[in-house]
Structure 1
């Protein structure tokens, strides 16, 4: 059963509710009666064995990245199980991927500060002739293997040294409240992790990623195919999936992807020996690049952390970085971007060592170890240097826009700092702060 949220009851509600939709408020506030009503409704659905669909991200990503989980609906479902009102619920995470997303232009304007335009069915129908005539490629829907929520809760309680049946989770105690929040958080990220596991990378995402992670402004078709083939191999090596098109040659798949993206996003230089492509709208194209970044976030963090030494130049030995210094940089960046990305759950030490060994096996970096096998220092491999650092640069360019955005935000805030001798508080309008940040960004990119 689909679940949606709306602050008002739209005109299209009767048509949607007749198909099983349930309209709920975006915020419940302190309305205990309304909260109890929604909880009872969800209990009834689960007790009756009805399919119940909710969108755990709470909305559509404006950047192409997977959004952090929204815990509202999950909280009601979890409470149904913990209270004993429902014996069990079967969770089936679902991933839906698109070749082309219609709203990317609107997302860009929203990211630049333009208020979101309210959506309604009438606008879609009135403009439907233009939207429905577009070539938007294909949609890929994948289902994760379903799993028992009751069994998952029991497993988590065991890991927390709280065997099932020992603690009465129906009691309203501070300890149970903390435990419940911990279960809810792990549940939300478990569902997101499963969605990532079955998500596929579409050809448009491969094209966008390659075009935005190259040093030059344009790339010939031969080189584009070579880098897409390399990226496809890396996606699969990381446990990701790539959309398949039967026995179609890679060149045909890429040509189809370029056609779907269109000339507004990817341009072609005419009159050269072979077709040469370049990013026309890098902002919109970043939406497709961000669909792959979750697979390589660990490699990207390590690469940009190494860049603090690589950028200094000099001989290879001079560019090596100690393990302690690298770990400090990775820890800082992980903390900085903890709201941007979903990191592996094994912990910093395990993730870092696994990533370093993987990059070493891919011959991107070299590791120096002591007699006990512990990593002492890290540097670029000779093979990667001879290849022009193309794979290392790929990982750096993946996350570089997010680093630049953080730098821009910090610089803009510093620019708003009042003079030292200023005694009274100064409040600045949000619009003025946004304009200042955009001005700083414009001047930075113009230098």
Structure 2
């Protein structure tokens, strides 16, 4: 049976009424209640007055929006949708922590759940509802982009709790009023809601910066009080969905190189369905620690944090908990090892790289997907074989033993899988650079009052600021606590002082070394943009032109080995570098900005130099021609590294 026939069969078998009918015969309960609610009518009248329009005109518009976004739960449609979801998910076995589900069901009995999920695939919208439905959770209403409201499929999906919403609503205030009111009514009725905190799929494998739209409406709801009544509350639940591999990653990485995004239509859906014929391992759904949204907002208010700043803080809380809940996959660890080497490795060499990583993961108590043993030879070899079958790696077995390397044009795909785990490694990587900074101090260097440890801490803070648009860092106090933990793991017990000599010794003996594996791709990408920005002197910057220039020059540098890996040549990373430059005021033309741009490029050039030193200490010596035409400063001699792999 073709994919088209299968989709149509599953969809039409789910329709309780005529295919062309957008909504059930009667509007969903929330719409009916809103249309009869006096407070809502007053809000519509106020909006009409503010816009200088007639109340009837605005009422007609808002009523249309409510019917457009409204959803219901029809038993027949939901069962058919679950069957369709199972068919789309045929490439995977879905693994769920049943203990987590049991605990969450207890919360579900007494609270409305706001499920904030990470978004790596279109399949997320099938994994989450199917897992919850199979375990008899209360019906969940999921927000999805209106671009996915395809003919026929959209009619079915709206009857299974899928709420289609528009992405760009800045110029449609009446639409925002309708959506805010609809969400308030859903929470009042104790409905479960699910949405992507990122607002769209990640293009790099790690969490994107959170968007605040749905969360803002939820916080408004839990903070609202009418006539002394207590506002409704929700339990925010971070939900992580991660996959061994994804068929759609190659399309996303093409977009990162400048390709246009494929529009979501029926042809796209059929192609996407056909891709799922090939097995790709497992999908893992894990749940983070829930928290009361109302209680969290009250805590922030007590600290003097209110309004948009409070919403931002809650969004970051959710992102941190999502990262904490995301398990380490074997695919991610193998990709990390081979990307770091950027050459062919044997199984033994991969194991030699992974073993200290596994020890570090154990020490930090990070969860491993499927409770896999990262030190097990058969587990690692199976991951290598699976990545080879999908074309991410290429294998050569014509010599004395098989070796694996990244396939042609597959660096961004491998980086996507590695980045699902990168959040657990970034602070350790920063700690290594802080130690290296101390090790490079001159004997007669003037030190701050806190001595060498303060030098290390200032370097860590500098790197945090440099990478704050790329990673989710805790507050400065939390970051300092995390750095102390990392320093303890690096240094061990009994070290009461830090000198350049002890810092060098600690770096040489530390396992694992992560700065070059984790930070170099991002710093290389930033350096490409900074170099192109500095080339413009004090002049104006057209951002699209700067991105195009960075792609072209970045490709040149990759061919010349002036960057360590082709994965750094990515529009996604370049856009983050632009955000950093904009934050530093480097995109506006003006006298003296050229000097600041040069300083920005120099800072990144030195950061790249130092992560390369960490790579040399680790034994991962990747020859890189530094893009700075000026001679390299002489680094202090480093002790010979112990034998690694």
TM-score category of the 2 structures, normalised to the smaller one: 0.7 to 0.9
Q: Which residue of 1 aligns with 2:366?
A: 240
1:391 match? 512
1:225 is aligned to 2:351: yes
> Who is 1:181 aligned against?
308
Match of 1:124?
269
Bigger CA drift: 233-242 or 6-15?
6-15
| Distance apart, 1:413 and its partner CA | 1.1
Cα offset, 1:258, TM superposition:
2.0
CA separation in 1, counterparts of 2:223 and 2:365? 33
1:271 aligns with 2:371: no
- Residue equivalent to 1:252: 378
Per-residue CA deviations over 1:163-198 (Å, capped at 9, x if unaligned) read xxxxxxxxxxxxxxx712222111111111221222
Q: Please state how far the C-alpha of 1:353 moved relative to its aligned partner.
A: 3.2
The alpha-carbon distance between structure 1 residues 282 and 376, as it changes in their structure 2 partners (threshold 3 A), is: same
Q: Deviations over 1:394-429 (max 9, x none)?
A: 3332111111111111001122336xxxxxx76658
1:5 alignment partner in structure 2: 145
Partner Cα separation in structure 1 for residue 501 and residue 367 of structure 2: 30
Alpha-carbon contact 2:236-2:292 (below 8 Å) kept: yes
2:411 alignment partner in structure 1: 282
Q: Which residue of 2 aligns with 1:337?
A: 467
Give 3-state SS (helix, strand or coil) of 1:241's partner. coil
Q: For residues 354 and 230 of structure 1, do their structure 2 counterparts lie closer, same or farther at Cα, with a shift above 3 Å needed? A: closer
Q: What is the SS of the residue equivalent to 1:391?
A: coil
Match of 2:536 in 1: 416
Deviation at 1:31, TM superposition (A): 3.0
When residues 179 and 376 of structure 1 are mapped into structure 2, their CA distance, relative to the original with a 3 A threshold, is farther
Once residues 349 and 313 of structure 1 are traced to their aligned partners in structure 2, the CA distance between those partners, rounded to angstroms, is 22
SS in 1 for 2:354: helix
**1:433 aligns to what?**
546
Contact 1:95 1:142 (8 Å CA) reproduced: yes
1:294 aligns with 2:434: no
Cα distance change, pair 307–396 in 1 and its aligned pair in 2 (3 A): farther
The 3 A distance-change label for structure 1 pair 314 and 180 is closer
User: 1:192 and 1:25 mapped to 2: Cα distance?
Assistant: 23
The change in CA–CA distance for 1:73 and 1:266 in structure 2 (over 3 A counts) is same
Deviations 1:131-166 (A, max 9, x none): 122121100001224332222223333344xxxxxx
- Residue 265 of structure 2 is aligned to residue 139 of structure 1: no
What is the aligned partner in structure 1 of residue 81 from structure 2?
none
Secondary structure of 2:194's counterpart equals: coil
Q: Pairwise mapping of residues 85-96 of structure 1 onto structure 2 (< 5 A)?
A: 86-96=231-241
Equivalent residue, structure 2, for 1:75: 216
Cα distance in 1 for residues equivalent to 2:414 and 2:519: 14
Query: 1: distance between equivalents of 2:372 and 2:467?
Result: 38
* SS in structure 2 of the partner of residue 54 of structure 1: strand
- Contact 1:367–1:378 under 8 Å retained in 2: no
Matched, 1:104 2:249: yes
Contact 2:143–2:194 (Cα < 8 Å) also in 1: yes
When residues 13 and 196 of structure 1 are mapped into structure 2, their CA distance, relative to the original with a 3 A threshold, is: same
SS in 2 for 1:93: strand
Structure 1 segments (4+ residues) deviating >6 Å: 246-249, 312-315
- When the two structures are superposed, what TM-score results if normalisation uses the length of structure 1? 0.81
SS of structure 1 residue aligned to 2:529:
helix
Instruction: Give the CA deviation at 1:350.
Output: 3.5
Task: Please show how residues 28-39 of structure 1 align to structure 2 within 5 Å.
Answer: 28-39=169-180
Task: Name stretches of at least 5 consecutive residues in structure 1 with no aligned partner.
Answer: 161-177, 370-374, 419-424
- Taking a change above 3 Å as real, the CA distance of residues 253 and 331 of structure 1, as seen in their structure-2 partners, is same
Note the C-alpha offset of 1:266.
1.5
CA offset digits 1:204-252 (Å, max 9, x no partner)? 11110111223x6122212312332332231232231111257898223
* Closer/same/farther in 2, CA of residues 96 and 7 from structure 1, 3 Å limit: closer
Alignment of 1:357-376 (within 5 A): 357-361=488-492, 369=497
Query: Which residue does 1:200 correspond to in 2?
Result: 327
Change beyond 3 A, Cα 1:127–1:194: closer
